[in-house]
Structure 1
Amino acid sequence: MKRALLLVLIAGLIAVPVFNAAAATYKVGFACMTLAYTWMTYAYQAVIDEAAKYPEIQLVVENAQGDAARQYEIMENFIAQGFDAILVNPLNVDVLVPVIEAAAAAGIPVATFDRRAFNQDSTIFHVGADDVFGGRLALEYVASKLDGVGKIVHILGELGASPTINRALGIHEQIIHYPGLEIVFEQSGKFNPADGLTVMEDAITSTAGDFDAVICANDDSALGAIQAMIDAGIDFDDVIVVGYDGVPGGLSALIEGTLDATIQYPVEMARLATEQLCKYVISGTMPENVDLDINPWMLVLSNYETEAEMNYEL
């Protein structure tokens, strides 16, 4: 695929020039939170592919590698170098507040996607997904499968991240409508398979295996939880497992029957945020909706082939 990107910094360490660097008029920095999550690798590619459509834009990508302090420093460097705009998906809702405000004070527009910061008033727009709605979807699915009665293990995402906060909020808001449902274990699986496995092992021990459903904050942690249940000899006919993201591993687990459902977290938000920021930098055109949340949707075995957002072939 043709890349018109002008400069991409891979993992925040290696500079890779790509096509027509001299043609760029504007420099946009992308403070990428991490590439450790499967979903994020596709969002990252969506940003790069969309920016490639604008030869006026030089995109510089730096990977914070899951470190909020590093992401802060990346943004500080973008400000110091006088970038024309910054795109960021904050690792933590409050750590980046001062540097986002500093960018705004320096006249450098900041746009967020996927994740929010507490000071969204200092950003020019946000494109995300309604994670509260997604959490409600997950709980409703479990409630329907259990006829409103059962014990739930809830594996959270990275603490302090807006998707973790909002997905959990949706679950807790919805469960009050089902007095027969109970969350018997809740702990962070940090959005990754290794922690998902460890936390699920703890859940199995803590509950003595007495649970009816597992809701995970993303598919990566769900895959770890599934492995822990396989290792423990748990029968998947007796447990409902729900993930979030709709990434290839989750879709494969749907086919295998170890995952009952996953919530599609739209990669479209990354593409749309990049499009809107590039257009703003070039022409000053603001998007009509400066706070856009796309509703996620449910994927199950019967609909994933037609409803999954993309085939995830990079």
Structure 2
Amino acid sequence: MRTAHSRRHLVAAAGVMLAVTGLVTGCTASTGESNTGPTNNANNSESGETVRIGFSGPAADHGWLGAINSAAIAEAEKYDDVELVVAEGTNDANLQISQVETFINDGVDAIVLLPTDGAALTEVAIKAMEAGIPVINVDREFSSPFAARVTVLGDNYGMGVSAGTYICEKIGDNPDAVVAEIAGIDSLPLTQDRSRGFADALEDCGLEVSNRVAADFTVQGGEAAASQLLAAAPQIDAIWNHDDDQGVGVLAAIDAAGRDEFFMVGGAGSKNAMDEIKSGDSVLEATVIYPSTQGADGIALARLVAQGKSLGDLVEQDVPTRIVLYAPVVTAENVDEYLPTAFAS
């Protein structure tokens, strides 16, 4: 059962994905007809003026963050006109501020920044922008629109909508279905957005969250939260777990409790989760993607901005200021399409 609300969200998100696809392909399809759009839209994959891009992100203490960093580096290596300067990953906002100040002093052509704390890094990002260095903000937003030329985000609200829509399609005809939720860190806006999207999608098919616990994006936290949930809820029909890294612990708790009367939807898109889905022997039968390509997308966008180019499939003369990536649901039917970009927990 897919509702009008969910359809509207998914159609809008699909439109964004078309833009991102243009970013990846870097050129328009050849039809034999002349291209009447701006000339800087064509041949983005061709080598241009060499640009130095500074990249700084948090410490890779989480599978998803590790994938962010490695994908960004791999993306830069695709281009012979990109020189990537990588700062050591850190969870210390002050250290990251000093890294950005070093990029500014070195006169890089662009900075890709996944801030350990968006608010804390806002001032130094504005400083870079005022120095004429475009900043590409990834995943965690700054607190001022003047701090970034482009912001690349996963769709946290959309993750919730996608998870809720999938559950509605499976059990929406049962008004008494018990739906449980294992969130991430409740104090984070991203967790709040995911829960809000999930509740909105469930409401469209007459369901609601019956039992909810919060974890902390770690294996240990996921196991503890899931154990608490299972002890409190003797009957469950569906679970949405926000994060596949903590999902390793969630599945361990489920196995220890000997429970299998429900199905589970994960979140983020880890290889571990996709292997479980593909096996067909797990309660985990779907996961919602939160792209670990955001850093790589930031590198590709930084290159385009620094070279004065735009997205290949858009008529718009400049790179958009904000790109929100799609949150698709991965199931046994399409898992092979997503495994190549899955990250290891």
TM-score, scaled relative to structure 2: 0.72
Matched, 1:248 2:248: no
Tell whether the 8 Å contact from 2:90 to 2:116 is kept in structure 1 after alignment: no
Deviations 1:201-251 (A, max 9, x none): 23234x2444333212221112211111111222x2x12211112221011
1:56 Cα deviation from its structure 2 partner: 4.4
Name structure 1 gaps, 5 residues minimum: 1-23
Separation (CA, whole Å) in 1 of partners of 2:105 and 2:187: 27
Matched, 1:176 2:203: yes
- Percent sequence identity over matched residues? 23
Deviations 1:233-277 (A, max 9, x none): 22x2x1221111222101122123231210123344433321120
Tell me what 1:79 maps to: 104
Separation (CA, whole Å) in 1 of partners of 2:274 and 2:85: 32
Tell whether the 8 Å contact from 1:152 to 1:214 is kept in structure 2 after alignment: yes
Tell me what 1:285 maps to: 309
| Matched ranges for 1:142-157 at <5 A | 142-147=167-172, 148-157=175-184
- The secondary structure found in structure 2 opposite 1:94 is helix
Counterpart amino acid of 1:96? Answer: L
Tell me what 2:160 maps to: 135
Tell me what 2:212 maps to: 185
Of residues 239, 248, 253, the one that matches 2:262 is 239
Separation (CA, whole Å) in 2 of partners of 1:48 and 1:37: 17
Tell whether the 8 Å contact from 2:181 to 2:209 is kept in structure 1 after alignment: no
Q: Are the structure 2 counterparts of residues 191 and 142 from structure 1 closer, same or farther at C-alpha, using a change threshold of 3 Å?
A: same
Matched, 1:197 2:197: no
- The secondary structure found in structure 2 opposite 1:242 is strand
- The secondary structure found in structure 2 opposite 1:150 is coil
| Matched ranges for 1:1-314 at <5 A | 26-147=51-172, 148-159=175-186, 161=188, 163-187=190-214, 189-205=215-231, 207-234=232-259, 236=260, 238-254=261-277, 255=279, 256-281=281-306, 283-286=307-310, 287-308=318-339, 310=341
Q: Are the structure 2 counterparts of residues 166 and 121 from structure 1 closer, same or farther at C-alpha, using a change threshold of 3 Å?
A: farther
Separation (CA, whole Å) in 1 of partners of 2:299 and 2:137: 10
Deviations 1:256-303 (A, max 9, x none): 32312101233444333211202322x233543221122121111222
1:94 Cα deviation from its structure 2 partner: 2.6
Higher helix share: 2
The count of residues paired between Structure 1 and Structure 2 equals 285
TM-score, scaled relative to structure 1: 0.78
- The secondary structure found in structure 2 opposite 1:100 is helix
